[in-house]
A and B are shown apart, each in its own frame.
Chain A
Amino acid sequence: MIAPLQLLWGYYMRWTVRWPALAAFVPFLPLIALWSLIVSLGVFPRAFLPGPLDVLSKGWALLYKGILTDYLADSLARLAVGAAAGMAIAIPLGVFIGLNRRAYEISWPILLFFQAIGDIAWLPILLVWFGFGLTTMTFVIVYTVLFPVVLNTVLGIRTVKPELRRAAQSLGASRTRILFEVMLPGALPNIITGLRNGLGYGWRALIAAEIIVGTSGIGFLMFDARRAGSVEEIVVGMIVLGVLWYIVDSWLLAPIERATGQRWGLVTT
């Protein structure tokens, strides 16, 4: 029993080295098989639990009509704008707080307080203030991205080894040069971690905001499908969310992490 499994595992390792895309795809095969099995056993009515092929054909139909791509583009654009704005505020703020002891002492409790008021907890009051619109959604994403990036940037700046700053000082670096040559690169692995968390939370917050606020986007697609009673469409939306995050994380964020923190030996895998 053990030997064939080991053999299979050996093949799997070799194939995934040759085609890394397999490693992203193969683990889902048993999951899809289980799904098919449960559906074919007829435990739940088809209208409640559609099979993989139903979902696939629905997904194809949505893609073919252009709805899926339009909504996806909307969601991604919102996330990109929100994340960019969030980072533009969060990184300088985090650097400032990390470098300045007084600012740190004063702002840390405030940061923890507001971080605890989750993104979605802001929705009720935002709807009162800004109504059902883009402002509300952007606010939620910026807010969600902001805190993990600020907190991790502060942490990163504060944990840069003091010898590195001293070394730079006695090599004649000015304060500005130390900021750009030592503090920022030293904090970069933490900043990327913050970004990774922030984008992950932001993505979730966006879907929630789209469900409540939305006029378009993947979250809206899913909630709208509920109204029409199309469970297939809901499942399509869920799968799109998972696939998209996998792509962002493994094709965008992980390579940045490998090229920086891991290459420099600041982060161990």
Chain B
Amino acid sequence: MKSLVLENLSKTYFDPYRGTQFTAIKDVSLQVGEGDFVAVVGPSGCGKSTILNMIAGFVPISGGRILVDGHQVKGPGPDRGVVFQSHALFPWKTVAENVTFGPKMRGVGKAERARIADEYLALAGLSHAAERYPNELSGGMQQRVGVVRALANNPDVLLMDEPFASVDAQTRMTLQEELTRIWEERRPTVVFITHDVSEAVFLANRVVVLSKGHVLAEVAVPLARPRSWTRLVEDDGFKALSNQVLQLVRSA
């Protein structure tokens, strides 16, 4: 896993109805060190998904630079793994085939792919579901597969776009705990987009609050690890930080 740098990133769209340029992202700079976990929060429409889509290379940038491990980003690539809100698993591939899709594209052989599938499905607690198809899984299981599919390809940076937004509240807490456990074990570099303030504080080392396309504030989260909801839900430090971030988001 390597570092990620955003330098004066900006994005403008042409608004065909008004005939003017619309600025979605304005002068955003951000440094995510190797093995860091940064959450980006903000109200809907603040441009957080646009930033992620630009880092992923899905959307062209209008100004500034994006550097992954010192190399400038041009289009999508396997150095940046993406976890989608809609899970985006391949419906015609089994869970194991989904997880090993990246390695298969790199030309990794069958035996090695089987080993990768075993390892990452065990990491997600999904060994029993290896031969199932995505539509036979619950929403929570689909997201777990989405996360390990990105991880199994060994990206420099893991980009997560509100991955737990569409699962129920209980499952979401379990998934958050599993993600912290995986992160504490493997220390990938993560950029995590969410609109859920407590999710951001629970998961991240640092929370970036975005407002109208620019960075409003950065809040460090020095909570001890390993983190779990049973402990943090009553923790004063967690509550104070969540409150602080929430106030920032609401003022945004």
Interface set of A (CB-CB < 8 Å, partner B):
161, 163-164, 166-174, 177, 181-182, 185-186, 188, 260, 263-266
Contacts and interface: CB of A to CB of B under 8 A. Distances in A.
Interface of B: 56-58, 75-78, 80-82, 84, 86, 88-92, 101-102, 105-106, 133-136, 149-150, 153, 155
- 3 tightest A-B contacts by CB? A265-B135, A172-B78, A169-B76
Nearest to A174: B105
Contact of A171 (B86, B91, B92, B101): B101
B221 to A, nearest CB: 27
Chain A CB within 10 A, most for which of B80, B102, B105, B133: B105
Q: Tell me the interface secondary structure of chain B in the complex.
A: loop
A173 B80 CA distance: 13
B120 to A, nearest CB: 13
Contacts of B135: 264-265
A186 B91 CA distance: 8
A172 B106 contact: yes
A170 B90 contact: no
Contacts of A188: 92
A186 B88 CA distance: 12
B58 A166 contact: yes
Contact of B77 (A167, A170, A266): A170
Nearest to B159: A170
B115 to A, nearest CB: 18
Given A166-B76, A171-B101, A265-B133, 8 more contacts: A163-B84, A166-B58, A166-B82, A166-B88, A170-B77, A171-B78, A171-B150, A186-B92
A163 B102 contact: no
B73 to A, nearest CB: 11
B143 to A, nearest CB: 13
